[in-house]
Structure 1
Amino acid sequence: MTLSIIDGQIEKRIDPTAKIHPNAVIGKDVTIGPHVYIGEGVKIGNGVIIEANVVIEKWVTIGNDCHIHYGTIIGNTTQDKKYKGEKSYVEIGHRNDIREYVTINRATEKGGKTLIGNDNLFLTSVHIAHDCVIGNNVVISNAAQLAGHLQIGNNVIIGGMTGILQFTRIGDFAMVGGYSSVRQDIPPHMLVEGNPAVIRTLNSIGMDRHNYTNEQKKAMKDVYKIFYRSSLNTTQAIEKIRKEIKETEEVKGFIEFVMTESKNGIMKRGSADKVGDSNTD
């Protein structure tokens, strides 16, 4: 077994049953468990733990201090019928915790990338399809299924057993309830659930957890009321928001998200029979 080993690698932490491609690059202080397969063009950062029976197929970059648990498969061929064998990639940032049996596919087109940021937690049996872009501090719960070309912002929480349609966008600090079927874009700071999923309320708890100021929370509550609890159409609502609400970073981000071209449309508000919206009053 030939390894491309960065200076300082502790070789005894690589199990002898692991199979590693000759041009794979393994960082310092990496632990590689039994029956791991690491393929062509893979780069593993420092301090990574790769547990037994993991497959990192090819053209994958993994940042520092990630923990990849038993049976995970990263960098396998996209499940897109348009794929014809082109060279494509997965790039994963630092300090990600990827639990058992997660699958992360490479992109479809030549040179394309499936991108994952830093400090994320993907729980057991999550599937992340080709060309997804996931930000930082995202939690995806057990068996959630993400179709291709998703764009997921920072500090998003996705409940277990959720399915998300291809090309969907999810804004920063959004929360998706478990067992939901997400078919449209979710603006930042919204809480959604259902089959099909609809906007239920503002994610006020998420704002509290991240120490939003009273000014920031009030601005987003006012945005929510105008956009989701008035009879105005999108253009009218955005115009009213711009005129009446101070443009904090959160308000600016909401406007930019809603005004960006969408393949699936912006998610509508549903009834509050399951998740009340009294906290926006």
Structure 2
Amino acid sequence: MQKLKETFIDKNAILGNSIFIGNGVTIEKDVVIGDNTQIGNNVTILSGSRIGENCQIHSNAVLGGVPQDLKFKGEYTLLEIGDNNIIREFVTINKGTISKGKTCIGNSNLIMSNAHIGHDCVIGNNSIIGFSVGVAGEVIVQDWVNISGLTAIHQFSVIGEHAMISGLGRVVKDVPPYVVAAHEPLRFAGVNSVGLKRRGFNSRKIDEIRSIYRIIFQEKRNTKFAVDIINQEFEQTVERDKILNFVRQSKRGIIKGFEI
């Protein structure tokens, strides 16, 4: 009979109350884990990891690994994970590099099996990262984002809040808030109306968002011209300003349009 791997917990790790730890777990020094977190079998949590309360970390996940980036020279960096996150089997999340100093995962996210989140990423709150999604370094994912399985996200990309990305997507441009991105190459495929309704957006607000994107993605001139039109013709609202600020601040440029 094969002998089970022993659990190792460094004496300098700081563990909260009512934590469950499975078989074969490794928890290194300089790790902090909050109350009521559950850690499955064969999980590895490496130095510099900070994990909040009420998280579920399933079997064979590796958290706080060394960045897969040649500029990393062993400097002290962190992985910070908030509360109420579900991290499924074989997920890997690397800590930061000198670029930002840490990788940050917010609260109440579901990260499905085999997903990878690279160095210096910032993941917001209430998002779903599907199975085998690959998130390269220094990506920003805002709140309430749904990324379907097998999607690959290029480094430095930004995905706006309430966006949804279809499976097998290839993200090489920024994805603005409130949209569905699909097809190959990835492009605008409509407003995420189903997701928005679930989160309390009414029909009038969804129509406003749809009208704004109609101008952005069907305007035959450049994006700056479309932004100027929206500024002049649409009443100032939270959603309008979030869209405009996202487009203005995009360094990689936003995805291309598609028929509304």
Q: TM-score range by the shorter chain?
A: over 0.9
List runs of 5+ in structure 2 lacking aligned partners. Answer: none
Q: Does residue 267 in structure 1 map to residue 235 in structure 2?
A: no
Q: Is the 8 A contact 1:41 1:60 kept in 2?
A: yes
Q: Is the 8 A contact 2:99 2:120 kept in 1?
A: no
CA gap of 1:17–1:89, structure 2 versus 1, over 3 A, is same
Q: Does residue 25 in structure 1 map to residue 14 in structure 2?
A: yes
Per the normalisation by structure 2, the TM-score is 0.95
Deviation at 1:32, TM superposition (A): 0.6
Q: Is the 8 A contact 2:174 2:250 kept in 1?
A: no
Moved runs in structure 1, 4+ residues, more than 6 A? none
Partner-residue secondary structure (3-state), 2:245: helix
Deviation at 1:265, TM superposition (A): 1.5
Which range moves more in the overlay, 105-114 or 89-98? Answer: 105-114
Q: Which residue of 2 aligns with 1:231?
A: 220
Deviation at 1:129, TM superposition (A): 0.4
Deviation at 1:215, TM superposition (A): 2.9
- Cα deviation 1:241-276 (Å, max 9, x = unaligned): 1111122211111111111141x2211114x5xxxx
Q: Does residue 39 in structure 1 map to residue 28 in structure 2?
A: yes
In 1, the alpha carbon distance for the partners of 2:72 and 2:200 equals 44
Deviation at 1:229, TM superposition (A): 1.7
2:190 counterpart letter in structure 1: T
Q: Where do residues 10-159 of structure 1 align in structure 2 (5 Å cutoff)?
A: 17-109=6-98, 112-159=101-148
In 2, the alpha carbon distance for the partners of 1:46 and 1:202 equals 39
Q: Where do residues 201-280 of structure 1 align in structure 2 (5 Å cutoff)?
A: 201-262=190-251, 264-270=252-258, 272=259, 277=260
Partner-residue secondary structure (3-state), 2:213: helix
- Cα deviation 1:84-132 (Å, max 9, x = unaligned): 1111100000000000000000111177010000000000100000000
Q: Which residue of 2 aligns with 1:7?
A: none
Deviation at 1:194, TM superposition (A): 2.7
In 2, the alpha carbon distance for the partners of 1:230 and 1:88 equals 44
Q: Which residue of 1 aligns with 2:185?
A: 196
1:193 counterpart letter in structure 2: A
CA gap of 1:16–1:30, structure 2 versus 1, over 3 A, is farther
Identity across aligned pairs (percent)? Answer: 37
1:206 counterpart letter in structure 2: G
In 2, the alpha carbon distance for the partners of 1:161 and 1:110 equals 27
Pairs aligned (count)? 257
List runs of 5+ in structure 1 lacking aligned partners. Answer: 1-14
Q: Which residue of 2 aligns with 1:164?
A: 153
In 2, the alpha carbon distance for the partners of 1:93 and 1:86 equals 23
Q: CA RMSD in A?
A: 1.5
Partner-residue secondary structure (3-state), 1:256: helix
Deviation at 1:16, TM superposition (A): 10
Which range moves more in the overlay, 183-192 or 216-225? Answer: 216-225
CA gap of 1:201–1:35, structure 2 versus 1, over 3 A, is same
Deviation at 1:214, TM superposition (A): 2.8
Q: Is the 8 A contact 2:58 2:89 kept in 1?
A: yes
Q: Is the 8 A contact 2:86 2:110 kept in 1?
A: yes
Q: Is the 8 A contact 1:133 1:152 kept in 2?
A: yes
Deviation at 1:135, TM superposition (A): 0.3
Partner-residue secondary structure (3-state), 1:246: coil
